[in-house]
């Protein structure tokens, strides 16, 4: 995927020069007490050169929690990279970091952008780390348990190769897969959990709706089950924007077409949608009330006033972590901190039950810690 390299190819390495700068941080907001505690954890890990893992619920403000540690590292002359699985999130975060670090050279590295000259802070897809050898003092890996990093030995090697010999890795995610749990149990990372969102409202709990023969009725291309049609009608009348998650590209195309026929015009987005950012802009701009999506949008995107439905939630692509992330798209904006999450399925799976238990556990932890506004 990176292009042909033969055994007689000549590979060049060059040292990337970075000029010192008087970095400043202008966040324009204050962290909550819980975020402050998480920020101190990140700072300690960086200062003591210890690998760490921040386990924070969807919408906890992981990016904002990084700011203080990033500023300290930049002022010490560290070369820092933030690695993210998806290039559209790389582009979005690059703009955010440039706004809060106005004196810092921030560059994006992804398939369509490969200029890192003079960058103090590199925001990169994981694949683009192949370009670096012992380059960075600190690498922050966001969504550490997500595709494509999860289970890909090549990407694990690229990350290690890009670190200096004394460099350290910091991981963040809203979910923990088995591999990460094992690493934490073996104490390979320092570990911190932030169970509450920054706005202090609890996570919404998904609701199960049993729909017999859902996939067969969808393939017929004539109608949707009555329970789904009634729900879509209520959504249309409420004016809420709706994300409709589906298990495959073909499923999404079929559902998008059927929705249009039934009077529910919808956009459709997947890894095969070029360019995806334009589809998102049209959805954000109000062109569609409904957006059909694969798991492409399970992570890293924030919309205000969103409800979510998962079609055929029993499908194997929707494991527990994916369902937790999907549910996490709801209620991220403090102006609209609550929303509806529905799992439409032909059967109830272990993954669905696990996802609900995980969300309830986070709410319980937040409640015990006194972090929920409605219970203070």
pLDDT digits (tens, 9 = 90+) for 225-280: 999 999 999 999 888 899 999 999 999 999 999 999 999 989 999 988 777 778 88
| 374 band by pLDDT with thresholds 50, 70 and 90 | low
Question: What is the reported pLDDT for 243?
Answer: 97
Q: What one-character-per-residue DSSP string does 42-67 give?
A: HHHHHHTT--EEEEE-TTS-HHHHHH
Output the pTM of the full model: 0.89
C-alpha dist (Å) from residue 203 to 50, 142, 198, 277, 345: 31, 21, 11, 27, 22
Across the chain, which distance is largest between two alpha carbons, in Å? 67
At 376 the pLDDT is: 42
Q: Using CA atoms, how far apart are residues 32 and 374, in angstroms rounded to an integer?
A: 16
Q: Where are the alpha helices (DSSP H) in the chain?
A: 33-47, 62-75, 87-100, 153-162, 178-185, 214-220, 226-238, 249-261, 276-284, 320-327, 350-368
Among residues 40, 42, 119, the alpha carbon closest in space to that of 79 is found at 119
Q: Nearest-5° angle of CA 360, CA 349, CA 175?
A: 45
Name the residue with tokens 């205000």. Answer: 304
Location of structure tokens 């999907």: 326
Cβ burial 2-37 (10 Å sphere, 16+ → b, else e): eeeeeeeeeeeeeeeebeeeebebeeeeebbebbee
Whole-angstrom Cα distance, residue 216 to residue 89? 35
Q: pLDDT tens-digit profile of 115-147?
A: 999 999 999 999 999 999 999 999 999 988 776
Burial per residue of 55-82, b for 16 or more beta-carbon CB atoms within 10 angstroms, e otherwise: bbbbbbbbbbbbbbbbbbbbeeebbbbb
Task: Give percent above pLDDT 90 in the chain.
Answer: 66
Residue 225 class from Cβ within 10 Å (0-12 exposed, 13-18 middle, 19+ buried)?
middle
Least confident of 28-32, 61-65, 194-198: 28-32
Question: Is residue 93 pLDDT above 80, yes or no?
Answer: yes
Asked if pLDDT for residue 95 goes beyond 90, the answer is yes
Q: How many CB atoms lie within 10 A of CB 182?
A: 11
Whether 62 shows a pLDDT value over 80: the answer reads: yes
For the chain, list the domains and their CATH numbers. 33-194 (3.40.50.300), 207-375 (3.40.50.300)
Are 67 and 19 a contacting pair, CB within 8 Å?
no
User: At a CB cut-off of 8 Å and minimum separation 6, what does 220 contact?
Assistant: none
């Amino acid at each position: 995927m990176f292009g042909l390299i033969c055994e007689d190819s000549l590979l060049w390495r060059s040292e990337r020069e970075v000029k010192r700068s008087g970095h400043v941080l202008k966040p324009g907001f204050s962290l909550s007490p819980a975020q402050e505690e998480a920020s101190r954890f990140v700072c300690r890990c960086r200062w003591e050169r210890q690998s760490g893992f921040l386990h924070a619920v969807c919408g906890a403000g992981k990016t904002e929690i990084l700011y203080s540690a990033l500023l300290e590292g930049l002022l010490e002359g560290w070369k820092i990279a933030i690695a993210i699985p998806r290039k559209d999130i790389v582009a979005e975060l690059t703009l955010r970091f440039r706004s809060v670090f106005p004196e810092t050279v921030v560059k994006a590295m992804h398939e369509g952008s490969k200029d890192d000259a003079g960058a103090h802070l590199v925001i990169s897809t994981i694949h683009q780390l192949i370009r670096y050898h012992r380059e960075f003092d600190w690498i922050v890996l966001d969504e550490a348990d997500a595709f494509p990093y999860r289970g890909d030995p090549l990407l694990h090697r690229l990350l290690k190769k890009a670190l200096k010999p004394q460099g350290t890795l910091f991981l963040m995610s809203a979910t923990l897969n088995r591999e990460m749990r094992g690493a934490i149990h073996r104490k390979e990372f320092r570990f911190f959990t932030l169970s509450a969102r920054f706005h202090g409202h609890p996570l919404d709990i998904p609701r199960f709706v049993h729909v017999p023969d859902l996939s067969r009725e969808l393939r017929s291309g004539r109608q949707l089950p009555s329970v789904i049609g009634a729900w879509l009608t209520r959504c249309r009348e409420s004016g809420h924007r709706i994300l409709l998650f589906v298990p495959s590209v073909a499923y999404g195309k079929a559902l998008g077409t059927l929705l249009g026929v039934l009077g529910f015009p919808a956009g459709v987005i997947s890894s095969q949608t070029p360019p995806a950012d334009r589809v998102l802009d049209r959805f954000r701009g109000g062109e569609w009330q409904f957006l059909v999506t694969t798991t492409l949008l399970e992570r890293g995107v924030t919309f205000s006033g969103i409800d979510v439905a998962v079609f055929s939630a029993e499908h194997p692509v929707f494991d527990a972590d994916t369902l937790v992330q999907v549910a996490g798209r709801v209620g991220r904006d403090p102006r609209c901190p609550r929303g509806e999450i529905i799992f439409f399925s032909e059967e109830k799976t272990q993954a669905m039950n696990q996802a609900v238990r995980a969300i309830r556990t986070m709410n319980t932890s937040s409640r015990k810690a006194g972090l929920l506004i409605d219970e203070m």
